[in-house]
Amino acid sequence: MSNSHDSHPIVVRRGKARAKPHGNHSWKIAYADFMTAMMAFFLVLWLLSASSPKTLVGVAEYFRTPLKVAIAGGDKSSLSSSVIPGGGMDPLRKDGEVQRATDNDPDAVQKRRDQQEGERLRALKNRLEQIIENNPVLRQFRPQLLLDITSEGLRIQILDTQNRPMFRTGSAMVEPYMRVILREIAPVLNELPNKVSLSGHTDAANYSNGERDYSNWELSADRANASRRELISGGMNEGKVLRVLGLAATMPLDRKDLMAPVNRRISIVVLNARAQARFEAENASAADVAVKARAGQAGEDMKEALGADASAPAAQGKSK
């Protein structure tokens, strides 16, 4: 006979399965971001409404200042008339309004022109040096040719030597080798529109009569003018010569030995724009002074004439 406890049924209890939520709830994150942005937007509006007009102008200028101005300083974009104020894409470049502002600065424009002209003069110097090296005739005279850049422009100096003088002693007669040098470099000088200045130099040897008659002043001027004629014969344009000077022995190369042959030389300067403008302005100012002087003298003569005419009838009236 079985036990009564064995007749109880076995009950198995299982947990109820939970139903999964329906649909995708990721939109709630986007909605929360949107509400946050809206709250920030309304907060900005509230701050702007509570700010003074001066504060609002400062905030606007902060957001309108170009990157280049913020880095390097300068005028704000509100002072600009350009649709797109400021410089270019690179804040370190000089583009856009920055470049236009530089173009309107006379000092910056002049500096840029001087740099460009300096580059052209250096290029001419290199070309002359190449011509000298490539020309067998000129190459043998290379020790007597000095090329350098000065404050006035490109200077070409042809030096005298004891064994190879440029001119006959005490004369402006050009020696054959000097004629070759001048005529070879003459066409190259036409490659730039710059004017040319020529000056002649002598040593300190004086003539027997001193400087009362024909002296080193006349000799140096005659030698410079003879060099001008040879350059023109070699193909240089006649209008390129701005001035011809005779400086005698006032500017020696060898100051320790005033009788040194190197002091006898011809200097050809391809003038830069500044030097050319200065010489032309000096000449123009001298011409203006002469014109004003002549005009003043003419005015005085006219006053005297008018005074004489006015005094003649009065004198006649008294005589009557």
pLDDT number for residue 156? 95
Query: How does DSSP assign the chain, residue by residue?
Result: ---GGGGSPP----PPPPPPPPS--THHHHHHHHHHHHHHHHHHHHHHHHS-HHHHHHHHHHHHS-HHHHHH----GGG--SSS-S--SSTTS--HHHHHHHHT-HHHHHHHHHHHHHHHHHHHHHHHHHHHHH-HHHHTTGGGEEEEE-SSEEEEEEE--SSS-SB-TTS-PBPHHHHHHHHHHTGGGGGS---EEEEEE--SPPPTTTTSSS-HHHHHHHHHHHHHHHHHHTT--GGGEEEEEE-TTSS-S-SS-TT-GGGSEEEEEEE-HHHHHHHHHHHHHHHHHHHHHHHHHHHHHHHHHHHHHHHHHHHHHHH-
Residue 171 near residue 142 (C-beta atoms within 8 A): no
User: Which of 248, 262, 246, 252 lies closest to 199, judged by CA?
Assistant: 246
pLDDT number for residue 230? 96
Q: If pLDDT is split at 50, 70 and 90, which confidence band does 271 have?
A: very high
pLDDT number for residue 44? 84
Which of 35-44, 126-135, 239-248, 288-297 shows the lowest per-residue confidence on average (mean pLDDT)? 288-297
Cα gap 127→145, rounded to integer Å: 14
Kindly state the percentage of the chain with pLDDT values over 70: 69
- pLDDT above 90 (res 223): yes
Bridge partners of 290?
none
The predicted-structure confidence for 121-156, as pLDDT tens digits, reads as follows 999 999 999 999 998 888 888 889 999 999 999 999
pLDDT number for residue 162? 75
- pLDDT above 80 (res 80): no
pLDDT number for residue 63? 66
Q: What are phi and psi of 103, to 5 degrees?
A: -65, -30
The predicted-structure confidence for 167-176, as pLDDT tens digits, reads as follows 988 899 999 9
- pLDDT above 70 (res 217): yes
Kindly tell me the sign of the dihedral angle through the C-alpha atoms of 206, 211, 212, 217: positive
- pLDDT above 90 (res 60): no
**Residue 155 CA neighbour count, 13 Å, CB half:** 14
- Token pair listed for 289: 């002074």
pTM > 0.85: yes or no: no
Arithmetic mean of pLDDT over the chain: 79
The predicted-structure confidence for 167-210, as pLDDT tens digits, reads as follows 988 899 999 999 999 999 999 999 999 999 999 999 998 887 77
**CA triple 216-219-224, angle to 5 deg:** 125
- pLDDT above 60 (res 29): yes
pLDDT number for residue 319? 39
User: Residue 163: how many CB atoms within 10 A of its CB?
Assistant: 6
